[in-house]
């Protein structure tokens, strides 16, 4: 092999070796070996955005210094589209707290494709795609604006627009260096670096604070496919830490020790989150943040937004005016958190869920690009499959479906041997004010076949199976759609963490491990992509056990099931003979974390009473 050994280091905000800072090699040049070093999987995702700038190489090594313990080995999926006919060897091995992947070819091959494949492997080889517009990024740190997008193009801050496959390489240019005008025709969005506290402190600098630091669109997005609630610990083993400034950097410390030191860009990584997962919560020391001479308010906002998106429970005395770029939702949640919210495991998790919802929706990649002028954030249509044999449950079941907010949905109501003309059924259907299709299923038809017939009549790209007697919080579906976005799983759901035992009027709370890939979710919470549902042929034509059989089929086919938090769902349990899942009541009284007399919904259910 000929050519020099070329090494780039990525994952840091300063330094000549960081791909975010350049200079970039000619992608048509050839080197013998290329080594890409990333501090964490989050940092490696920025290299995906910049992959088109890397040269061809006969050997490519990708080294990630640290990865959370629960990450699986990054075995890259070498897709046929890349035409890697020159591939001779792939080697993946553990390297200290991280991983190294070596890929060897018999001829020089675009190394950026290897970097992309390895980064994608850390996410389970899921499809990495972000909705339009196709971006062009330009300037130091520009990859932070479109993390994990291998379809992005890179340009000089002065232009012109690159050409790719006979067309302009992008639809929108984001520049972090606007010192010179853009050459040529292009829609450009300039996002210069945050003003530092040194600049703000100079004469006239107060104008910088008044110039619009309340707009979240000024802050680079959270890489929500890397920094998200996965791995949340519902029963913490450590106390409350502090987010503060030490030696000119944001850190989280606990019991006198620094647990993690956040990059000077303010970009939180999956390892930052992993190091603080066992904390009960984190207090924000905003006052120390304004002592950072070289960093400014948007850096602080970016740190807090990233931690909130990961579900780290955050509290503070107040939110300063200069942190308004968090957005009014996060500002309100942080400012209104009651004293002692972290003391109880349940109220702590409720607070975490509220924070993560708002942060993911206001600071996620899709939302940020919608604010930059893209078509509005893509919200898939969900078809709720609702089958019932009980006419007296139709009104209640439709009420639970109708409560769902921040979701585009339709309901397919399968009346299983129930006449549509029944007075209670007809009234409930007439009252329901969202898209509704009614299917009259024969009484003798197997339950699984009824659900499949309902799915045939559904038009959504997502299918949600709801039960007719369980309670669903108003954000139940929206939370599962968020989980689909950040987990990339084929099937999402929750565990039956809260159960109301109607026969004895008791509510029980089971301790569950949530926000993880799993092999079991409650049957009344199954949210599946249409592609996964069709791939396994839907539900088996059985009278019962259709939920467990469906989940088994998905996993056997190589699909992934993800379990989100369990605070948006309450399973109602009557006599065993009333349910297709015929477990006795005693089963639900085991392994309880808590139990209460009567119906006791958590705060996220937004219910004031119950039904027996």
Q: What pLDDT is stored for residue 20 in this prediction? A: 65
The per-residue pLDDT for range 445-502, each reduced to its tens digit, is 999 999 999 999 999 999 999 999 999 999 999 999 999 999 999 999 999 999 999 9
Determine the pLDDT at residue 579.
46
> How would residue 443 be classed by pLDDT, with cut points 50, 70 and 90?
very high
Give the position of tokens 């929500």: 224
249, 264 in Cβ contact below 8 A? yes
Query: pLDDT: is 248 or 155 the higher one?
Result: 155
Instruction: Return the minimum-mean-pLDDT range out of 69-73, 285-289, 380-384.
Output: 285-289
Strands 381-388 and 314-315: unpaired
How many CB atoms are located within 10 Å of the residue 195 CB?
Answer: 19
Residues 76-97: what's their mean pLDDT? Answer: 85
Where b means 16+ CB within 10 Å and e means fewer, 116-131 reads bbbbbbbbeeeebebe
Sorting pLDDT into bands at 50, 70 and 90, what band is 11? very low
Q: What is the pLDDT of residues 296-330, one digit of tens each?
A: 788 899 999 999 999 999 999 999 988 999 999 99
Instruction: Identify the structural domains of the chain with CATH numbers, from first to last.
Output: 5-190 (no CATH), 216-371 (no CATH), 381-605 (3.90.550.10)
CB 333 within 8 A of CB 284: no
Is pLDDT at 287 greater than 90 in this prediction?
A: no
pLDDT mean across residues, the chain: 89
- Whether the pLDDT of residue 381 is over 60: the answer is yes
- Residues contacting 588, CB < 8 A, separation 6+: 499, 501, 508, 510, 573
Question: Cis link prior to 23 (omega < 30° from 0)?
Answer: yes
Lookup: tokens for 166: 């006979």
The confidence band for 83, taking pLDDT boundaries of 50, 70 and 90, is confident
For the stretch 153-204, pLDDT in tens is 999 999 999 999 999 999 999 999 888 999 988 888 888 776 766 666 666 6
Ordered alpha helix ranges (H), 190-276: 197-201, 206-209, 270-276
pLDDT recorded at residue 123: 85
What SS3 state is found at 405? coil
Residue listed under structure tokens 């002692």: 340
Map residue 346 onto helix, strand or coil. Answer: helix
């Amino acid at each position: 092999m000929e050519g020099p050994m070329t090494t780039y280091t990525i994952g840091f905000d300063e330094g000549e070796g960081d791909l975010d800072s350049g200079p970039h090699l000619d992608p048509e040049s050839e080197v013998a070996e290329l080594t890409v070093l990333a501090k964490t999987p989050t940092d490696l995702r920025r290299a995906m955005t910049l992959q088109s700038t890397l040269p061809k190489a006969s050997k490519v090594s990708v080294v990630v210094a640290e990865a959370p313990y629960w990450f699986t080995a990054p075995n890259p999926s070498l897709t046929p589209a890349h035409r890697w006919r020159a591939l001779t060897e792939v080697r993946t091995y553990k390297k200290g707290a991280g991983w190294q992947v070596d890929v060897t070819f018999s001829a020089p091959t675009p190394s950026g494709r290897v970097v992309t494949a390895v980064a994608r492997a850390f996410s389970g080889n899921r499809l990495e795609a972000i909705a339009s517009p196709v971006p062009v990024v330009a300037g130091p740190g520009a990859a932070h604006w479109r993390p994990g997008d291998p379809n992005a193009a890179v340009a000089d801050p002065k232009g012109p627009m690159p050409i790719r496959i006979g067309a302009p390489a992008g639809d929108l240019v984001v520049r972090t260096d606007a010192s010179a005008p853009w050459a040529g025709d292009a829609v450009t969005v300039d996002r210069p670096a945050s003003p530092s506290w040194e600049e703000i402190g100079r004469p006239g600098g107060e104008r910088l604070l008044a110039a619009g630091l309340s707009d979240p669109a000024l802050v680079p997005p959270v890489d929500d496919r890397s920094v998200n609630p996965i791995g949340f610990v519902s029963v913490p083993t450590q106390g409350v830490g502090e987010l503060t400034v030490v030696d000119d950097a944001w850190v989280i410390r606990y019991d006198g020790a620094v647990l993690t030191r956040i990059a000077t860009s303010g970009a939180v990584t999956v390892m930052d989150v992993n190091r603080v997962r066992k904390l009960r919560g984190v207090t924000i020391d905003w006052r120390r943040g304004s002592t950072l001479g070289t960093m400014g308010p948007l850096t602080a906002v970016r740190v807090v937004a990233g931690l909130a998106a990961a579900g780290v429970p955050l509290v503070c005395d107040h939110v300063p005016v200069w942190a308004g770029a968090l957005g009014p939702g996060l500002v309100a949640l942080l400012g209104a958190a009651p004293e002692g919210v972290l003391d109880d495991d349940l109220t702590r998790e409720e607070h975490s869920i509220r924070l993560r919802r708002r942060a993911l929706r206001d600071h996620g990649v899709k939302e940020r690009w919608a604010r930059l002028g893209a078509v509005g954030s893509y919200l898939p249509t969900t078809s709720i499959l609702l089958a019932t044999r009980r006419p007296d449950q139709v009104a209640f079941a439709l009420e639970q479906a109708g409560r769902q907010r921040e979701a585009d949905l339709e309901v397919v109501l399968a009346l299983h041997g129930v006449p549509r003309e029944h007075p209670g059924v007809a009234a409930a259907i007439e009252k329901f004010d969202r898209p509704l299709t009614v299917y009259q299923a024969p009484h003798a038809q197997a339950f699984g076949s009824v659900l499949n017939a309902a799915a045939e009549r559904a038009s959504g790209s997502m299918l949600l199976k709801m039960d007719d007697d369980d309670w669903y919080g108003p954000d139940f579906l929206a939370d599962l759609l968020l989980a689909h976005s950040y987990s990339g799983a084929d099937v999402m759901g929750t565990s039956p963490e809260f159960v109301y035992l109607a026969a004895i009027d008791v509510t029980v709370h089971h301790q569950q491990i949530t926000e993880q890939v799993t092999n079991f979710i409650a049957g009344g919470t199954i949210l599946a992509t249409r592609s996964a549902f069709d791939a396994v042929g839907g539900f088996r034509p059985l009278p019962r056990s259709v939920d467990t059989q469906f989940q088994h089929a998905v996993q056997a086919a190589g699909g992934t099931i993800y379990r989100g938090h369990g605070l948006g769902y309450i399973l109602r349990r009557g006599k065993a003979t009333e349910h297709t899942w015929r477990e006795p009541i005693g089963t639900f009284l085991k392994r309880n974390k808590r139990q209460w007399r009567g119906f006791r919904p958590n705060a996220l259910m937004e219910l004031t009473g119950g039904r027996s």
